[in-house]
Structure 1
Amino acid sequence: MTARRVVFIGAAGEMARVAVERFAKADGDWHLVLCDIRPEILQPLVKRLPAGRASVRSLDLYDHRNLLEVIDGAALVVLGAGPYIRTSEPVITACLEAKVPYLDFDDDVESTQHALSLHEKAKEAGIPVYVGCGASPGMSNVLVADAARELDTVENIDLGWLVGDERPNVGRAVLQHLMHIAAGDCLTWENGGPVVHESYVETTTLQMGGGVGEILLYETAHPEPVTLPRRYPGARRIRCVGGLDPAPFNGLARGLGLAIQDGRLTTEEAVDYILDVLDNRFFGNVRALRAMLGGMVAQVRRGESGAGALVKFLVLSALRRRYAWRGGLIARVTGTRDGRPAVAVRRTPVGGSDTYLVASMGTLTGTACAAFMVLALDEAGRHTGAFAPEDWADPEKFYTALERVGTPRHEIVESVR
């Protein structure tokens, strides 16, 4: 088998398709083996790629023998199938056995911790295991590393993400992850050590770029506060905050998340209901409808959003009208420079449907993943072990990789002090 093969597992997903298409824009003659349990869905994607650059394989990632056969001799295996709390372990296990490099865009804390615990096994296998190589985590970690370089000491790190109105184009794995972080334990870093908060409870405001401005975001159970303390152990606080736009979507997520936590809904029932809502159908599951409205009303009562915004959301949804998409990433790092308090900020400067990088959650995550793929192949043979993005991805090299997969330089990052 040729060493010029890149195997992409779960290639039919929305973010994965973006990653594949944009990776193919980079220089190099890598052949992409696109794998999915539904291979027929991949044919339109193959037709959009340069002739001969990709082939399609049917693959059930839980079939260990078949998985080993597919990844044998690959230069890189990329896992795009989620949720990662179920999918990453079998693929990483196979990559360790086959001794082939692994990369994913895992955004779940538990599976990230498991992957990083395999550092010594990956070193013994002589391969890198790169986890969290998407938008958040992923590009967000790189923005932190970039901003922190301006400071002599790091005290507080706030990472922020915002996702806009993507109705109806949202996949099940994305919604399963949203339900996973909308309630329950949130492992974070506070007062110089790990603590557990309740996810989606604590709030802060950050000044996002891309025309968004100052916006309220919620602390969420994401991997960044778990991985970044290894690089910045002296930091007092490291937290990841995020949110959905328009604001009532946050109430929807919180209400359904609490209903799952309380046993009033299963995760699959909640996901099914969100898919109905994204298609502007609200009344299929009365228990879910009550949970959603309860979350939205509680959001208004807490002053996190106004009653007018909620009414507007419900009316526009009933009329099947969407909001203009807004979103992006930000990293705000505080500390000292030359003995004085200082702040360094990195954020995505533009966003919206007319942009390349931040046109949707899919384009942001997929394009970042494609850039990490390029960087991983450039760095072949240099790293062995298990790594989060801040451990191995140099900011300038990553920004250059984003350009190589088609991103205009002016869309990548802006610096704010």
Structure 2
Amino acid sequence: MGTKRIVFIGAAGEMCRLAIERFAVADGDWELALYDIRPDLLEQLVQRLPSGLATAARLDLYDREGLRAAIEGAALVVLGAGPYNRTAGPVMEACLQAKVPYLDFDDDIESTLHALSLHEDARAAGIPMYIGCGASPGFTNVLVADAAAELDRVDNIDVYWVVGDERGAVGRAVLDHMLRVAAGPCMTWENGGPVLHQSWAETRWTELGAGLGLTMVHETAHPEPVTLPRKYPDAKNIRCFGGLDPAGYNGMIRGVGLAVQTGKIPVEKAIDHLEALMLNKSGSVTGWRYALSGLRNLVRTREATRGEVLGFLAKAAVGHTFPHRSALKVEVTGLRNGLPAVVERRTPVSGPGTYLFTDMAAATGTACAAFMVVALDDESVSRAGVFTPEEWAEPERFYKALERVGTPRDEIFAISH
């Protein structure tokens, strides 16, 4: 069949760079075309890859002619540039016009809904468009499908994610996303239908792996409760809960997020403040006012004690980086052989010395690379439309793809009943 040309847009982003590096581990006759508005940031990446595998060039994804030329004839176009509520539309439209397959790791509800609205357009174009192919959504959706397959009837689906200290590795698009999931409307699935909640308002404690143990998490605006009802329309409740580790970060992001939501601080100024903190700089006085308000709220809700908050602030003030701990977990309840049953899947390890959950970029990039492997292996399958992971990525094939891109099997998930 010849060499397959794979196009990456936004290739210099941390998560996309990891996806490229991990994808390159898999065996295949690939030609990687890396595009970014900052191509100079790609030089070291190209040098690290096998000789002749990749080329790098400049591309502004809002340049319609340049975008069309870049993706022409691609076997797959991977969008790694965020925030997706601004970038996905132009790239998806270009892929529809050029009739080339598309894949992303979109974690925004608004752009996910827009993508789903293009299903008939993608069918007419005769191409697959794979959305939400990261860690959460993405890996989580496959875990749900795997767990649900053990039940005769699915009643409730709960998705959990926790992200650890990401100092120095978080871009502005990620911070923009976090502000929106920490405050504002949260579309979810309750009592058999879609409803709106407020992000971060409801909390619960859950037992997580990867060294986290019993952890408080917050209901958050994420795509899983929007997409999973397509596969499980009879489920009563489908919800997503998230959090940051250590808990002090929850307070800071919630406090600043609420300030953005209520118009007290512009979103760009809020991102400036958080970006400064991630780079161990002081941030702004205004940003700290709202961050401290969020930290005080942690004590009120008993997510953390006053001593824990003060200890967090003291360590953060001197640039202390907390040991990275992150995890994914899904819990599916329903009936099996006529009896109530609960099936869980959760990731077992994270942090230094691991491959899949070293940090958020590793988790998202590795999952994206595995989804790419499955998608490219499926080229002979006649599939056209917009698809979320639970609809097309069979769990065992996805787990094997994770191994093909370098993941040790014992890092992928733990089973609990």
Equivalent pair of 1:264/1:287 in contact (CA under 8 Å): no
Equivalent pair of 1:188/1:226 in contact (CA under 8 Å): yes
What is the deviation of 1:413? Answer: 1.2
Corresponding residue SS for 1:17: helix
Query: What residue number does 1:326 align with?
Result: 325
Query: What residue number does 1:109 align with?
Result: 109
How far apart are the structure 1 equivalents of 2:387 and 2:308? 42
How far apart are the structure 2 equivalents of 1:122 and 1:236? 30
| Superimposed CA distance per residue, residues 113-143 of structure 1 (whole angstroms, 9 cap, x where no aligned partner) | 1111111110111100100000000000000
What is the deviation of 1:281? Answer: 3.0
Partner letter of residue 355 of structure 1?
Answer: T
Query: What residue number does 2:162 align with?
Result: 162
Query: What residue number does 1:174 align with?
Result: 174
What is the deviation of 1:145? Answer: 0.3
Corresponding residue SS for 1:346: strand
Equivalent pair of 1:59/1:67 in contact (CA under 8 Å): yes
How far apart are the structure 2 equivalents of 1:378 and 1:132? 18
Partner letter of residue 291 of structure 1?
Answer: Y
Equivalent pair of 1:3/1:73 in contact (CA under 8 Å): no
How far apart are the structure 2 equivalents of 1:378 and 1:58? 29
Normalised TM-score (structure 2)? 0.98
Equivalent pair of 1:3/1:75 in contact (CA under 8 Å): no
| Superimposed CA distance per residue, residues 376-408 of structure 1 (whole angstroms, 9 cap, x where no aligned partner) | 101114211000111100000000000000001
Corresponding residue SS for 2:254: helix
How far apart are the structure 2 equivalents of 1:185 and 1:318? 32
Partner letter of residue 378 of structure 2?
Answer: E
How far apart are the structure 2 equivalents of 1:192 and 1:212? 32
How far apart are the structure 2 equivalents of 1:62 and 1:216? 40
Query: What residue number does 1:392 align with?
Result: 392
What is the deviation of 1:3? Answer: 5.9
Query: What residue number does 1:42 align with?
Result: 42
What is the deviation of 1:324? Answer: 0.7
Equivalent pair of 1:3/1:74 in contact (CA under 8 Å): no
How far apart are the structure 1 equivalents of 2:223 and 2:275? 26
Query: What residue number does 2:25 align with?
Result: 25
How far apart are the structure 1 equivalents of 2:191 and 2:173? 33
Equivalent pair of 2:218/2:242 in contact (CA under 8 Å): yes
Equivalent pair of 1:256/1:291 in contact (CA under 8 Å): yes
| Superimposed CA distance per residue, residues 285-304 of structure 1 (whole angstroms, 9 cap, x where no aligned partner) | 22111100001101211212
Question: Is 1:53 matched up with 2:53?
Answer: yes
Equivalent pair of 2:7/2:77 in contact (CA under 8 Å): yes
What is the deviation of 1:343? Answer: 0.5
| Superimposed CA distance per residue, residues 42-84 of structure 1 (whole angstroms, 9 cap, x where no aligned partner) | 0000011001110011100001111110100000000000000
Q: Please list every run of 5 or more consecutive structure 1 residues that lacks an aligned counterpart in the other structure.
A: none
How far apart are the structure 1 equivalents of 2:153 and 2:7? 40
What is the deviation of 1:319? Answer: 2.2
How far apart are the structure 2 equivalents of 1:120 and 1:381? 21
How far apart are the structure 1 equivalents of 2:278 and 2:258? 19
What is the deviation of 1:229? Answer: 0.6
Corresponding residue SS for 2:167: coil
Query: What residue number does 1:361 align with?
Result: 360
Number of aligned residue pairs: 415
Corresponding residue SS for 2:122: helix
How far apart are the structure 2 equivalents of 1:410 and 1:11? 29
How far apart are the structure 1 equivalents of 2:281 and 2:40? 29
Partner letter of residue 127 of structure 2?
Answer: I
Question: Is 1:341 matched up with 2:355?
Answer: no
Partner letter of residue 95 of structure 1?
Answer: C
Normalised TM-score (structure 1)? 0.98
Partner letter of residue 285 of structure 1?
Answer: S
